[in-house]
Structure 1
Amino acid sequence: LSKREKEKIHSAAKILATAPIHIDDTPNISIAELRSKARRLKSREPNLSLLVVDYLQLMHSGGRIENRQQEVAEITRSLKALARELDLPIIALSQLSRQIEQRRGKKQARPMLSDLRESGAIEQDADIVMFIHREMGKTEREEEDGAENMGQEATLIIGKHRNGPTGDIRLVFFKDIATFQSLSRDLPPDDVGY
């Protein structure tokens, strides 16, 4: 790393050290446990403005439910209710089903709402569903050509938006710094995120 890069890292570390970010990595957490922890955090931190669940399929309902689809439906309904109760957005990451692999070759198998894993309730309960899509194969070619420093094209697919438009947003992905950037902004990778 150059001296400038080290200074940027040091500066970013200082900012992150004081950021009001709370991470709870409780394994196999139930929705009831998450709700309880979120309520406590909100009472301690009234300005709490976002809750992120990484990822939905690692949670369980805590009750006896017949099948996984019903359990995921219970979790998504509970997350939606919690978002309303705490008056904050909840971003819930989700895995995709393997159906997408069966469509390979058809437009590089762009993800669709029906690809959300384990429940149609994810699609029903979510206000917004977005997918990040990068074409397979193209990435490998770009890496061989040394183009990873230039960034790789990606697409942010807005598959559902309850109160707004759906569509695609063209992005560029800078693998070396794990950053996505809108193609409408022409900033070089050196000026991204620092």
Structure 2
Amino acid sequence: MTEFQFPPPPESQSGDGRTPQQMPHDRQAEEAVLGSVLVNPEVYYDVAQFLTADDFFLHRNRWIWEAYTSLQEQRLPVDILTVSEELGRQSRLDEIGGPAYLTTLINNVPSSLHAEAYARVVEETATRRRLLAAANQIARFAYQTATSIEDVVNESEKSIFGVSERRLTHQLQPIKRVLSEYYDRIDYLARHQDETIGVPTGFIDLDRLLGGLQSSDLLIIAGRPGQGKSGFCLSVAKNAAQIYKRHVALFSLEMSNEQLVQRLLSQETGIDSQRLRMATLRDDEWPVFTQAVSSMGETQIYLDDTPAITPLQLRTKCRRLHMEVGLDLIVVDYLQLMTGDTRIDNRVQEVSYISRNLKALAREL
């Protein structure tokens, strides 16, 4: 494999002999965060919601944050004495510069009131470093000519997704704000009684019972083999896209895209699937078939027949499609044919892992 290096950023190519630009980091911000916690331990709970030890560039600062975390897990107070003892127990106190460095952190804090702002700077520089690492990894994948381009693209998307996924955090909210949003929603629904709240399925009784398919929900259609689970899901997808103009992504691990289209057209025209497969249409059925093809072609249904798709692959495709057109409904047929992103010997645990990831995707989108 060919070894290479990225060229330094334009601003570092001044021709005056300066070294290339260093990895993004902010030493003062890191020290300000650590010092703020020593001055006011309560700020740890604010910044620990989004900041981790890996976000610190300097090793000694990373070790100090790990000591804070360890003390919190032991339910011990965080101060210069307890932190020194914890670092000493880990044989790291001398390596960070001893108690003198901790004292320096306290003395150099501009204001502990701005701890969250300092922490955001640390988080931002850490994200830039991860993006650079992902870019290097993608470049290495691209140079591996023996690897298929599909695998290269999938691994590249996985690298970028790993960076963006870390930024998906949800802060605690006061109940007053949630209640206000809920009141507004109930008020809207009261004034629009005839409208379906979520994505309509086209089945009147089911929509009346559920209020449509709700956003952020993961719904699993269960039943014995041959009971019509796939047919029901296809009907819901077709109705949502064709009648209610919603954007639908349909992933089939069991049927090809051509088979999916065949079943959708069979539902739309009432022509037997077997006769569609064999193209034995009567003369009076051709106009109906042509009209159905034209009508279905106007819908916003997106098909994918990747076999044994993993949760990460599905998530990547859905996120990309959601950014391009916006998704209202995702249908996966069916769960048992999916595989995990990592090898898991226990199939029950693997299905549980897949279900968790699908639920996380529903919440995210």
TM-score band, normalised by shorter chain: 0.3 to 0.5
Q: Which has the larger radius of gyration?
A: 2
Q: Which has the larger strand fraction?
A: 1
Q: Which has the larger helix fraction?
A: 2
TM-score (structure 1 length as normaliser): 0.41
